[in-house]
Chain A
Amino acid sequence: MENKQQTRKKLRISKNKKKGWKKTDITEVEEFLEDQRLQERTGGLVAEKKDEQLFIVDKAPEEEPQIQNFFTFQREKERRKIQKILKCHSHLQFDPRIKPARIAHNLRKPGIERRHERVVERIKSGKKTKTEIQAEKQRRTDRKLKRETRRKEHRLFKKSYDLWGTENTEEDLPVKKQKFNPPKHHREKPTLVSAVEIPHPGASYNPAFDDYQALIEKAHNVEVKKTKIEKKIYNALDAKFKSLDKAELEKTWLTEMSAGLADDDAVEDNDIGDLDLDKISVNPPVQREKKKTKIQRNKEKKLKQQEKLHHNDKVKKLRANEIFRLKSIKKEVKEKEKKVEQKKEERLKREAKNKTKTRKIGKMKFEEPNLEIKLTDELEGSLRLLKPEGHLFEDRFKSLQKRSIIEPRVQARRTRKYKPKVFDKRSHRPEET
């Protein structure tokens, strides 16, 4: 090291400034350090190594020198040529002196492969893992529980407890008490009509003569009433106002029939010209002279005010004097109370009567269903031959309507907006004769 320093020329530079530091020559140090690093990378420092590490005693027997003829020489040459590695490639070659940066200490097969092997093994052996067994168990219990709850939840499930039981405390009952009390009228029925109405004795399948006659009469009366209403409507509408085409025909009938009988030259003039055009309004015409003057208006106003004051005075006086007519006031009050009481009674009576009536709770009015009857020739004396009249489903539905539980409605029928066009297909056109 000292020899080198001597050979090199010493630079004289002031080193008290940073600028001067850069000029210091450190190539030697760098080279040395680089050399050492290289040695460390390639198998440790040479200086520290023992001889045995650096050198190998060649114990192999010495090879006999090969006899080379021209051909072998040539071949060897060729071989070398092939074997010769380019320098650029040789850099990429693995250098056995360089140790790998990290040594993996648990070198195994890739994971997927290993797992796959294990799974195959396990499946072959037919054994189940712990988790599988547990999952299966859990699945089974879950399914059972679900099935049970579903069965319990099912609507068809038989009732298994007493809803009105007094023994059960409230907590035991499946039905908890409602938090909200229903309104007072909640359990009142809309009408007092019974759910299953007593049938007419004439509706028996084998009725007594009189009962049957009574029922027939009832049905007859209903029918008479219906025809009466129909007739009334007819009289009010159809009889009075003929349909358009008919009315038209009637108008022209006389002229048509009497056409040609006589020459009717004298066509009557229109009377429109005679109308007084001035008299369009019904009210008398307004005249300017009749307008009230301001004085007149003021006067009227004053009169009105005076009247009002007068009235108020009167009222005040009356009120002041009422103390003297206490007796009569009492009488009045009593009378009034009596009246109210009377009215209340009447109202209650009326309401009680209305309780059996069907209310109108919707758009439509309730219509009594048709009376079910058997005509005389349909009456069979035997139960075997009985053909029932009407349907109980309809009867129940109407009963609900009659009791004002549901509102009567009419089935909406679908109507077409336009008439469907009809045309013949060319291929299927009927032959014209």
Chain B
Amino acid sequence: MFATTYQENVKEKPQTKPNKPTKPDANVICWVEGITQCAPPAADPYEFKSASPSPQLPFDLQPPTPLSLFYESGSATAYISRNQAIKKLQLNLADFRRLCILKGIYPHEPRHKKRVGKGSTAPKTYYFAKDINYISHEPIIHKFREFKRIQGKSKIVYISHEPIIHKFREFKHFVRRLKKAINKRNTDAANRIRANKPKYKLDHIVKERYPSFIDALRDVDDCLSMCFLFATFPKTAHTSYDFILLSRRLTVEFMHYVIASRSLRKVFISIKGIYYQAEVMGQTISWVVPHKLGYDHPTEVDYKIMQTFTEFYTTLLGFVNYKLYTDFNLHYPPKLELEDQNSTTKVNAEFREQHEERLAALSQSLQTLHAGSEEEEIEMDEFPSENTDDPDRIEQVKVEAEKLKKLQNLFKGLKFYLSREVPRETLVFLIRSFGGEVSWCNTVCVGATYSEDDETITHQIVDRTEMPNQYLSRYYIQPQWVFDCINSRQLLPVEDYFIGAVLPPHLSPFVEEEEGDYVPPERKSQLTGQAATDSGVEVVSDEEESDDEQEVDNNDDDDDEKNENQEEEDESEGNYLHQFNNAILKKQNNIL
């Protein structure tokens, strides 16, 4: 099923050479003689060079333009076909692919295929010659490449500048030795050889591809999606268990960071998967996570390639996590709050496994690096409004910041309980990243903090048609309430989401409506609700009053107080808020 060999155009047709005797390729000479010198300055393929003659002559009297007649310059030398590249680097196709993926080198479609193909327009994969020259200096290459020196014929001196080179050369040797041991059924030797498998690190490549942390953050979308996906995979011949475990660990770490930093903004449950959007260090990051359900694994995908991507992405995510944690003053590797401070001494496999499980439960928050120092509230700098050109802007920013704070504490003070039929991880991640407390039945997963009979639970998330024994002190709601609350940035009235209720549609938060566009009524009500009443608590309170007859609410008094406070706040913000609401909305949409 997984035996995938891919059709390649490995055998390229011999190129029709021009009649004139061509000069030997300068690049090749460099390579053979071992001179660490790049190709002669090739024409920049991005720059359009019109064959501009001297302007002294009128157009009709100009000599014919010398348009790289013999393919010795210009785009003919700027590009290199894949097969040429492979020959030059002395790799096989699979290794070449891996190297390109790791180094972030992509093929490029030339503008003039005929010129690049030296007269042939056959479909080929082309790379920039400069790129190939560049990766020829990569030390990892020696890991893939077998070292051979042909004496007598020509001296092939490898361009090597790293001391790890001889270690890398071992790789093919390692494979050969292992094969031999296996075929001789020498299990001891095979195990020994396997244990001494040559390894390489991709740290320097991460640094090279992303010189600054922000660069890495900008490109982390793909990385996150792939890691979240890989974390759900079973172990097969094509998916290494190492990467699966690593992906899982790293994604859990990332989720913990998002929870701790309260940086989640949007969520969308689509039929394909769950889309998240977060704002980390000013960068909008979106990623997609598969539903936690059984899947048939697709056969049309090249697993080898995808695993190579994952190999790089796990390295990247490891460093990104480290940086995020340390910058946010969190302990890395993550430590749970209730964990013993000095538990580093007893680290056995069982303990580690338990630790990972409890981490993956997402129910506890993490230890900060300097325990004891409480996080201080960061206040915005005061800018006197007279000094700036746009006094409104400062106000605008302030309002925005306040709204953001409100969103981050959307579920603060609410206590959720998850029934066993709802997707636990998704909901825990969402509720916790907006300040809520959450627990579940302890038979479902480790890490439950309180049981179902806790009277202080405010919301129980249920996804079934009926619930025979209900507590009166809490709302029984469907999971969609959580998603919709987050997307509309307010607590929505719960009655639309009761057990058995026909749910309002789950709208995409990623849609940005322009003026004149059609806006569905549900979205409209969301938007207007967001603009007019700043929180849904008011609506909830109405609803509570109506429910009071049926339900015995313990926290009635508290809630009322809360509501009053809320109302006061609303009034204090006043109409000022309404003016900017639309503008801000638009801005938010633009950010997306």
Contact = CB atoms under 8 A, between A and B. Distances in A.
Interface stretch (A77-85, A91-99, A178-186, A235-243): A178-186
Interface of B: 4-9, 46, 48, 50, 52, 55-56, 58-59, 61, 101, 104-109, 123-126, 128, 130-131, 134, 137, 161, 195, 199, 201, 203-204, 206-210, 212-213, 215-216, 219, 221-222, 225-226, 229, 242, 245-246, 268-273, 275, 286-288, 290-291, 293, 295-302, 305-306, 309, 318-319, 321-323, 326, 332-333, 421-423, 463-464, 478-480, 502-503, 505-508, 510-511, 518, 520, 522-523
A172 to B, nearest CB: 14
B328 to A, nearest CB: 13
29 contacts: A160-B322, A163-B322, A164-B216, A175-B204, A178-B137, A178-B204, A178-B208, A182-B208, A186-B104, A186-B131, A187-B104, A187-B215, A195-B222, A200-B508, A201-B510, A205-B271, A206-B506, A329-B56, A332-B55, A332-B59, A333-B55, A340-B50, A362-B9, A382-B503, A391-B296, A394-B298, A399-B222, A409-B8, A412-B7
B306 A396 contact: yes
Contact of A205 (B107, B201, B221, B270): B270
Main SS at interface, chain B: loop
Contact of A204 (B195, B318, B505): B505
B225 A210 contact: no
A196 B221 contact: yes
A174 B273 CA distance: 38
Contact of A194 (B210, B221, B273, B318): B221
B43 to A, nearest CB: 13
Contacts of A164: 207, 210, 212-213, 216, 319, 323
Contact of B273 (A176, A333, A392): A392
Closest 7 CB pairs of A and B: A201-B508, A195-B222, A208-B505, A359-B109, A412-B7, A183-B130, A195-B221
Contact of A372 (B208, B271, B319): B271
Contacts of B206: 163
A229 to B, nearest CB: 21
A340 B309 CA distance: 42
Given A178-B204, A208-B522, A153 B199 contact: yes
Contacts of B210: 164
Interface residues of A, number: 85
Contacts of B59: 332
Given A315-B61, A372-B272, A404-B106, A201 B511 contact: yes
Contacts of B309: 400
B323 A162 contact: yes
A409 B209 contact: no
B7 A409 contact: yes
Nearest to B48: A347
A361 B109 CA distance: 5
Given A383-B422, A384-B421, A393-B229, A207 B275 contact: no
Contacts of B123: 360, 362-363
A203 B221 contact: no
Interface in A244-267: none
Nearest to A315: B61
Given A162-B326, A396-B229, A208 B507 contact: yes
A168 to B, nearest CB: 12
Interface string A365-403: 000000011100000011110111111111111011000
A412 B505 contact: no
Contacts of A57: none
B225 A195 contact: yes
A161, A163, A410, most chain B CB atoms within 10 A: A163
